[in-house]
């Protein structure tokens, strides 16, 4: 899991640091064009199964990404991660 800002900088992550950093940096390019993504993200010698959703917090868009596992597990993680990030930021 990784939550990134609009510049692709990870704000919070859980899992392999390299994968989280790469997914955040690459998904910002995809996220600039669409609100949701589900597919394979390619990197230098790597391929990650990723689901992403953009959420709005006080006028800023954040990218919430679930990486790896099954599509069903990623969707559950995405839903939980997005609501958790918004709850924490609102506190």
23: domain CATH number is 3.30.160
Q: What is the pTM of this model?
A: 0.90
For 31-66, give the DSSP string.
Answer: HTT-SEEEEEEEETTEEEEEEEEEEEETTEEEEEEE
Q: What is the pLDDT of residue 68?
A: 93
Low-confidence ranges of the chain (pLDDT < 70): none
Q: Which residue range(s) make up the domain with 70?
A: 2-90
Structure tokens at 37: 């993504």
Provide the domain count of the chain: 1
Closest CA to 65 of 56, 87, 21: 21
Q: What is the pLDDT of residue 33?
A: 85
Q: How far apart are CA 77 and CA 70, in angstroms?
A: 11
Q: What is the pLDDT of residue 81?
A: 92
Q: CB neighbours (10 Å) of residue 2?
A: 26
């Amino acid at each position: 899991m990784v939550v990134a800002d609009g510049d692709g900088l990870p704000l919070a992550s859980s899992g392999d640091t390299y994968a989280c950093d790469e997914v955040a940096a690459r998904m910002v390019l995809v996220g600039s064009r669409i609100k949701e993504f589900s597919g394979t993200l390619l990197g230098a010698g790597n391929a990650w199964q990723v689901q992403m959703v953009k959420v709005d917090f006080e006028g800023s868009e954040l990218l919430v990404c679930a990486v790896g596992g099954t599509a069903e597990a990623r969707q559950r993680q995405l839903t939980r991660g997005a609501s958790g990030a918004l709850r924490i930021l609102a506190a």
